[in-house]
Amino acid sequence: MNTEFKDPANKQSFAGRGHGRRDNSLKKLLFECVSFILISAGFWFVLYILIKAESPEHYFVFFIFIQIAAFLFFSTYASAVIAVLSTLVAAAAFITGSDGVKVFAALAVLIYWAIICFLNMYENRETESCGRNKLLLENMQGAIAELETALKSGAKLIPALKKGIASYEKMAEFSLKLGTTFSLKDISMFIIKFTRSIFQEAEVKLIKQAGDACDRWVYSSQKPVYIENTAMDYRFDLHNSGDASSIIACPVFNGENIQSIIKVIGRQGGLLPSDLRVLTLIATLSSLAVENVKLFETTQNLAITDDLTGLYNHSYFMERLAEEISRASRHGEEFVFLMLDIDHFKKFNDDFGHQAGDEVIRRVALGIIQTIRNTDIVGRYGGEEFSVILPRTDLKRGLVIARHITEMVKKERFNFDGKYAGVTVTVGLSSFQDYREEDKIITAADEALYEGKKKGRDRVVARGSLK
């Protein structure tokens, strides 16, 4: 309460400063008293000389110096009092003196009051200037106070700004990584890793399937959600959130559908609305990355697939054939190569038109895909020809699969403007066990296909030895 007495050092300091101020006031008072006595003595001395002197006019000038000295040491009022007294003395000299004294007395009076007017004008200007300077100083002090307040506020914002700058620098790096990643698995890993680096005090999840009411709301509304305090928020039944104090969940889109949800759960200290903006930006960048993967896959598929059937095109199928030959050679495995051709396809086009022919090619391609295994490789070799690779398959098993394909195609019926028709296929087979080079295995299957055509079509012909 009495801070001054609790700190002896401060008490001594305050007492010393008070004692110093009292000493200065005493010195100033003594100086003014001495100056007043000297000026008064000078005035009466000059007055006495004027009365006694034969030529008093020579002493009028001393009153001028006394006036100036009174102004310098006291004030304009003191010099004005001396001017009044000097005027009275000059008036007495004017009345009693000679003509010369009268002239000097009159000039002295004019000079006295001219000095007073000048001093008064000077003091007024100085007073106005001092007032302006004081006002300017007060304004400057106010501005300085505001600046200090702003600096203090700015100093408080510096840590948050540094944190924000660091976050957005990380965001730029995160964006670059996402832009050069074309795997959904890698993107998911980057999302989790980066989000955890931003929200180090929180739990981060990547939700693929809705686990609670909050997740279901995000999936249904396709909007982010911010829950400041789960204990005070009654929109969701969050039994699975444990002792979470706040939750932010943002959707990651794949086109118009939600790919996943980035969920941040704050367990110590609540998450802020600014954290929602950061997580929304992360989710937006992630959505763009998912879109890029989708676009990349689409572009890649367009480059390796046939437009009409969706099967691998000829050039990519040949790459897969070379890979299968290399793989089978390394591991000592075998595979079967099939070539299929739609019988009498030119006549079918002539009878029903090219659009009908395209429909037949699509339906035959779909039937082949439905008949073979997921691990088998099928492509459109060209025109109405197809080619199939059956990995880890011997020639005997390949013949069975080839016959299933021919039976499937034969059962298919086509209706074109009320006209029903069907097609058949001829299949030629070759085995890697017998033809271990790319050209030889293709030539062998092609020769088998040509032989089947010569024998009447709608059949399967193999080249190679059956075990």
Burial degree of 39 (CB within 10 A; 0-12, 13-18, 19+): buried
Quote the distance between the C-alpha of residue 66 and its chain's center.
78
Interatomic CA distance for residues 22 and 285, integer angstroms: 74
Q: Which of 291, 384, 412, 438 is catalytic?
A: 384
Show Cβ contacts of residue 174 under 8 Å, excluding neighbours closer than 6 positions. 190, 194, 282, 285
In 53-183, where does DSSP find H-type helix?
60-73, 76-96, 99-179
384 is an active site residue = yes
Look-up of token digits 């200290």: 269
Rg over CA atoms, the chain = 55
Burial 378-399 (b: 16+ CB within 10 A, else e): bbbbeebbbbbbbbbbbbeebb
Looking at this protein, which amino acid is placed at residue 92?
A: A
Cβ(466)–Cβ(395) below 8 Å: yes
The SS3 assignment for 212 reads coil
Do the strands 414-416 and 385-391 form a parallel or antiparallel pair, or are they unpaired?
unpaired
Could you give the angle at the alpha carbon of 92 between the alpha carbons of 87 and 94, nearest 5°? Answer: 90
Which residues belong to the active site?
384
